[in-house]
Amino acid sequence: MTGHSLIPIGSGLEPKYDRSGSSKSMSGGMNKNENADARVAEGYNIPAVEAWIDANTAYFKPPFSWTRLEGGHSNLTYRLEDQSGKRAVIRRPPMGELLPKAHDMNREWSLIAAFAPQGFPVPEPIGFCEDLSITGALFYVMGFSEGRPLFSNEDTLSWVPESQRATLAYSFIDTLADMHVLDPDAIGLSGLGKKEDYVGRQIKAWYRSWESSIAYAELDDSRAHDFKDYFLAHQPEQVRASVVHGDYYLHNCLFGQNSKVSAVLDWELATLGDPLADLGYTLRAWPESADDAHLEPTAPTAVPGFPFRAELAQRYAERTGFSVDLLDYYVGFNNWKTAAILHGVYARYRAGQKSTEGVDMDGLREGILKALNGAERAIHRLG
């Protein structure tokens, strides 16, 4: 689990900036985070990279202007623009030693390269460089995608008119459905991950995380243990093995001026698994009613004009053919998983493994309990 993904959506604790350095910073509305520097780019040997692009792609021609797209403590991402005004984006891992599965450029490239020919909304794949002698790391180049992500209600209010919010929601859920019906084997993604028992493996892994974090967190809750048993005992049969994004929400999509998805971003957590678990993650933070007391007040959907969870679930079911009768199981599971993730983060802060400067520790602790409350409500609805 990499740092940018440790705070799940709907917890009220997620940062309101581009955490991953991904192409979401390409949005025309994110220019305040750009830091232009004509011919200096951290982590890149500009002459060597431009020579490689010139020799291996036909998309545009160097020399380029290089504009950094800020992304926190993560991938080094720049917008490239040639003298004709054609733009693209280049990405490589951060400098220094990395965790084995973190910042996997090959994984990201494989996904966008597989999805683009299917007409799925991802940036255009332009070129992938495996030659470490060029700039010391793998890197890839992809097309520049116009649009904006939504992190908060303020983003929605400023970018999406109320009359267009249903359009946005339908495009958003249709895009997820379209991803889930693609056959990973047919599009070259059969090796992305294990196909079987996705939810069961997740439950066991995150329960181990909860147990190992108890001592440092000095926080335990019997519901974490009881719900683990419940979700294992009542686990539905997996409908199929699909590509699951793992963090599909409004902050990881770009929306164009027509309020439709122009690109899906941040594929670092993507694997093969149960599509309904992916759906449950996405819809757990979606309002159930106009006066949903459990919706975070700053959530991008905490404004008028959006269809509610049940309508989007039904639309997804009609588009995929998958039954959503047990959606609350997957909503509950994802709430429980969120509690375990936050519990681990909280424990690492309390253990002194990460600086707590500027961190709302009380809010983080409250987020753990709120997520367990959400799991409890979902289990109660299941009867």
Sheet holding 139-143, edge to edge: 34-36, 65-69, 76-81, 87-92, 139-143, 125-129
Token pair recorded at residue 371:
């997520």
pLDDT of residue 33: 46
Distance CA 336, CA 246 (A): 15
Q: How many residues does the chain have?
A: 383
**What is the rounded distance in angstroms from the CA atom of residue 340 to the CA atom of residue 345?**
9
Which residues of the chain carry a pLDDT beneath 50?
A: 1-5, 15-23, 25-37, 71-73, 98-100, 102
Residue 71 phi/psi, 5° resolution? Answer: -145, 30
How far is residue 271 from each of residues 102, 267, 276, measured CA to CA in Å?
14, 9, 14
- Report the pLDDT value the prediction gives residue 100, as an integer from 0 to 100: 45
Phi-psi region at 103: left, alpha or beta (left = phi > 0; alpha = psi -120 to 50): left
160 contacts 255 by C-beta, under 8 angstroms: yes
In angstroms, the Cα distances linking 306 to 3, 161, 163 are: 30, 11, 9
pTM of the model: 0.86
In this predicted model, what pLDDT tens digit does every residue of 293-327 receive, in sequence order? Answer: 899 999 999 999 999 999 999 999 999 999 999 99
In order of 223, 265, 289, 351, 364, the CA distances from 348 in angstroms are: 21, 28, 36, 5, 12
| Token pair recorded at residue 361 | 């520790």
End-to-end CA distance of the chain: 33
Structure confidence at residue 27 (pLDDT) = 38
- Residues forming CATH 3.90.1200.10 domain(s) in the chain: 153-382
The CATH homologous superfamily to which domain 153-382 belongs is: Aminoglycoside phosphotransferase (APH), C-terminal lobe (3.90.1200.10)
pLDDT, averaged across the chain: 89
* CATH class label, 19-143: alpha beta
pLDDT at 103: 59
Residues of the chain with CATH 3.30.200.20: 19-143
